[in-house]
Chain A
């Protein structure tokens, strides 16, 4: 029997490799949850929060970009919708951010479906270009919309620390756990998708649309469903970010930089994989935060140079992402 043979599959229960994934996730997330009690440094905790947030949003991006193969460079739009929906609802109407998350998520999913209707008729690069343009239009609209603060943005009122309003001025640890919770949810959703009929359909659509169609897969529906799920969780990330900053303006939640930062961790770590976005974010975000604080100031563009360099290195040396290094090694060990 060769190494490629599999024993007949179990028809009930979970596959052993899936159980192992869950166990790994539980261990990793538990370790991250405990880490702020060991690392008391507020700056490092801040970096950790951003890393977890970008890992979570990149995981959401990965659902559409990695599994379904539709490379969006406009996810800042959904992030912004989440941030703005939450801020407007909280500041103007007194709705707690938990409600804003839900509203922002649903609104984003609806916008994704609306935009998907024309955009999913475009293929490959044309789709990506359309997403960039649409996100930029969204940014301009927010800039000029006085009801949501226009270019000035929205300042959240100061209040006491509370899990209800998600405001924690004295201690960053709750934000670590919130961001981790978001990552755990997006990871688990991706995990469920990977093992479901949708996951198989989406990967089939990515690999070969014509063949997928011949096997009963409705391509358009598949892309729309992936876009809605992806947009929903991206917006929830935006809601979290707004409550974390307690002040938002168009550039700070919707600039093109965000769209890049959602795609990059997944691409760097391993596109269309469960752990790619997390691994990618764990490398990319600390690197950019540290260079930013050492090389001074924001907007100097050094971080963008680093992104560009990383992308070039990864696409030349390991187009499948960093995770593939380990997978290949594991495969070789299994064979020998």
Chain B
């Protein structure tokens, strides 16, 4: 294993009753890259994502983060080690202000409220949401809520950021801003793994793509190679992509 591997998922299997959601999945995420996780509905993207975030443990296999086995660690402990995530459906703390929401993340690295507040405000400026800092989180628009999710996760100062369909439901111009934000995050030295459906957005953004299908890794590589892969076209992209 190369020394630059931040996360490695090693032969992981996860079953839900009789359904095998992930079967012997292995992926390695390099430090500093943006990795796209794509595939049709039911391919096991979210399961893999949740296994890495620590929502539930795998039935078989191991997950290593910075070379250490985190397979059985709870999600709060993974967060302290530097893994942060967003949710597909934004889960804001609606009784709290936007700034307070992000402060919850800030407390992972800060003891005092003043220090957490400083981290939170800085993160909100980074995520271009500082102008809404005093608003109630419940009053945000859907695209703002997605930004809040990202800001909150970033306030935990992660090494690895897991983005679960953050671009879904955004207008093209909002999505462009989202792409900019993800690039900015990577430029800060944070490794990004993103589950995404919108191919036009993912492919130019990611350094590498992993395609899942039926719970298994179908293809893996640079985005331009992946979109030309026969198996990927048949299973996911559809015949109309073959010409391109």
- Contacts known (A9-B121, A215-B108, A216-B79); A204 close to B93, Cβ less than 8 A: yes
**B44-84 contact mask (Cβ, 8 Å, vs A): 1 or 0:** 00000000010100000000000000000011100110001
**B94-138 contact mask (Cβ, 8 Å, vs A): 1 or 0:** 111011100111011011111111100100000000111111000
Chain A residues within an 8 Å CB radius of B79 = 213-216
Binds B, one of A193-201, A232-240, A275-283: A193-201
**In contact, A207 and B131 (Cβ under 8 angstroms):** no
**In contact, B118 and A216 (Cβ under 8 angstroms):** no
**In contact, B130 and A5 (Cβ under 8 angstroms):** yes
- Contacts known (A3-B134, A5-B133); A211 close to B107, Cβ less than 8 A: no
- Contacts known (A1-B131, A4-B135, A197-B113); A216 close to B92, Cβ less than 8 A: no
- Contacts known (A197-B107, A215-B152); A6 close to B99, Cβ less than 8 A: yes
Does B147 sit within 8 A of A, measured CB to CB?
Answer: no
**In contact, A216 and B107 (Cβ under 8 angstroms):** yes
Does A208 sit within 8 A of B, measured CB to CB?
Answer: yes
- Contacts known (A6-B134, A9-B117, A216-B79); A211 close to B87, Cβ less than 8 A: yes
Chain A residues within an 8 Å CB radius of B100 = 200, 203
**In contact, A8 and B121 (Cβ under 8 angstroms):** yes
- Contacts known (A206-B95, A215-B105); A4 close to B114, Cβ less than 8 A: no
Query: Contact partner of A10 among B95, B107, B114, B132, CB < 8 A?
Result: B114
Number of interface residues of B (CB under 8 A): 43
Q: How far is the CA of A3 from the CA of B152 in the complex (A)?
A: 22
Does A317 sit within 8 A of B, measured CB to CB?
Answer: no
**In contact, A216 and B99 (Cβ under 8 angstroms):** no
B75 to chain A, nearest CB (A): 5
Closest A-chain residue to B91, C-beta based? A211
**In contact, B104 and A204 (Cβ under 8 angstroms):** yes
Closest B-chain residue to A198, C-beta based? B107
**In contact, A272 and B95 (Cβ under 8 angstroms):** yes
Chain A residues within an 8 Å CB radius of B93 = 203-204, 207-208, 211-212
**In contact, A4 and B131 (Cβ under 8 angstroms):** yes
**In contact, B104 and A196 (Cβ under 8 angstroms):** no
Chain B residues within an 8 Å CB radius of A161 = none
**In contact, B104 and A11 (Cβ under 8 angstroms):** no
User: Could you list some 18 contacts between A and B, CB below 8 A?
Assistant: A3-B134, A5-B130, A6-B121, A11-B114, A11-B115, A11-B117, A196-B113, A197-B110, A200-B116, A203-B95, A203-B100, A207-B94, A211-B91, A215-B79, A215-B153, A215-B156, A216-B76, A216-B79
Return the 5 tightest CB-CB contacts between A and B, nearest first. Answer: A207-B93, A216-B79, A4-B135, A211-B91, A216-B108
* Sample of 9 more A-B contacts, CB < 8 Å, known A4-B132, A197-B113, A212-B93: A6-B133, A13-B114, A203-B100, A208-B91, A208-B92, A212-B104, A214-B153, A216-B76, A272-B95
B residues adjacent to A (C-beta < 8 A): 53, 55, 74-76, 79-80, 84-85, 87, 91-96, 98-100, 103-105, 107-108, 110-118, 121, 130-135, 152-153, 156
A residues adjacent to B (C-beta < 8 A): 1-6, 8-13, 195-197, 200-201, 203-204, 206-208, 210-219, 272
